[in-house]
A and B are shown apart, each in its own frame.
Chain A
Amino acid sequence: ELKVEQNPLFLSMQEGKNYTIYCNYSTTSDRLYWYRQDPGKSLESLFVLLSNGAVKQEGRLMASLDTKARLSTLHITAAVHDLSATYFCAVDQFSGNTPLVFGKGTRLSVIA
Chain B
Amino acid sequence: DAGITQSPRHKVTETGTPVTLRCHQTENHRYMYWYRQDPGHGLRLIHYSYGVKDTDKGEVSDGYSVSRSKTEDFLLTLESATSSQTSVYFCAIRKGGGSDTQYFGPGTRLTVL
Contact = CB atoms under 8 A, between A and B. Distances in A.
Nearest to B6: A42
B52 interface: no
Nearest to B105: A42
* Chain B: number of interface residues, binned into ranges: 20 to 34
A45 B41 CA distance: 20
Interface in B43-91: 43, 45, 48, 50, 58, 90
Interface string A42-83: 111100101000000000000000000000000000000000
A96 B96 contact: yes
Overall SS of chain A's interface: loop
A2 to B, nearest CB: 11
Interface in A17-54: 31, 33, 35, 41-45, 48, 50
Interface in B93-113: 94-107
A78 to B, nearest CB: 27
B104 A42 contact: yes
Contacts, number: 53
A45 B97 CA distance: 18
A42 B42 contact: no
A99 B58 contact: yes
Contact of A104 (B42, B45, B104): B42
Contacts of A44: 104
B105 A33 contact: no
Contacts of A35: 104
A84 to B, nearest CB: 17
| CB-CB nearest 4 A-B residue pairs | A104-B42, A102-B43, A43-B104, A45-B101
19 contacts: A31-B99, A33-B101, A42-B90, A44-B104, A48-B100, A88-B43, A95-B97, A96-B96, A96-B97, A96-B98, A96-B99, A97-B96, A99-B45, A99-B58, A100-B102, A102-B42, A102-B43, A103-B42, A105-B43
Interface of A: 31, 33, 35, 41-45, 48, 50, 88, 90, 95-97, 99-100, 102-105
